[in-house]
Amino acid sequence: MAILEMADVNAFYGNSHVLFDLSLEVEENEVVALLGRNGAGKTTTLRSITGVVPRREGHIAFRGHETVGHSVDQISKMGIKLVPEERRIFPTLTVHENLLVAADTARDARPIDEMYGYFPRLDELRNSQGRNLSGGEQQMLSVARALVQRPDLLLLDEPTEGLAPVIVDDLREVFQDIVQEDVTVLITEQNVDFALDLSERAYIIEKGANAWEGTVAELRDQEDLMEEYLSVSVAEEAD
């Protein structure tokens, strides 16, 4: 059964029409990659799901309940958590205080010590203010804040953007552990290899519209498709 359904969704920023009859589904305990070039509409799709985009048309349902017309807070309380590309941690709070704030606003928070188990580096930095963290450490904290709230659906928006390769490898290991716990995830990524390593199915969007959907295995077998829509070849993706 689909936990998330989007059907014929159109989204607008002011007078700008940015999503065009977009449709996708995410099943319970599934990891799905949403791929496309920069500007294809991936972030707008996640923002439409969470209600950040002010004008949406079409059908977006979470566990069978329509979300179009609901506020960002109402949608968050349904169990959808977004880890935004900008991270948005509290810069003047410590790592531990950031996690406490997230836990205090959760329906059924996970123990903060579990987050330190996922991210030992955060345990070392628990008394450091958010503004003093590196980009990779801020991303770890942003993910940990979402996980501590025990989301039913975790939305990851470009989690490896701007990170050093060694940090990307660390995040890959953490996410692989997370998805083995049957967490439902929709991830957008420019790092195609990273996204496909985690995912079971994928959607490709182009100029705000559906261009392709299928399994990760099917996508890996279609070099021409990856070159056309993602500007990568199978050889490059395997490097």
Q: What is the DSSP string of 153-207?
A: EEEEESTTTT--HHHHHHHHHHHHHHHTTT--EEEE-S-HHHHHHH-SEEEEEET
Query: Residue 145 in contact with residue 96, Cβ under 8 Å?
Result: no
Instruction: Report percent pLDDT > 90 for the chain.
Output: 78
pLDDT digit string (tens) for 153-163? 999 999 999 89
On the question of pLDDT at 40 being above 50, the answer is yes
Query: Residue 136 in contact with residue 163, Cβ under 8 Å?
Result: yes
Residue 237 has a pLDDT of 44
Q: What is the CATH number of domain 1-79+188-239?
A: 3.40.50.300
pTM of structure = 0.91
Query: Residue 60 in contact with residue 68, Cβ under 8 Å?
Result: yes
Q: Which helix (H) or strand (E) holds 209?
A: strand 209-215
On the question of pLDDT at 45 being above 70, the answer is yes
pLDDT classification of 178: cutoffs 50, 70, 90: confident
Please, which residues bridge with residue 19 across strands? Answer: 11
pLDDT (mean) for 27-49: 95
Burial of 36 (0-12, 13-18, 19+ CB in 10 A): buried
Q: Two tokens at 40?
A: 């294809």
Q: With b meaning 16 or more CB within 10 Å and e meaning fewer, what string describes 111-147?
A: ebeebbebbebbeebeeebbeebeebbbbbbbbbbbb
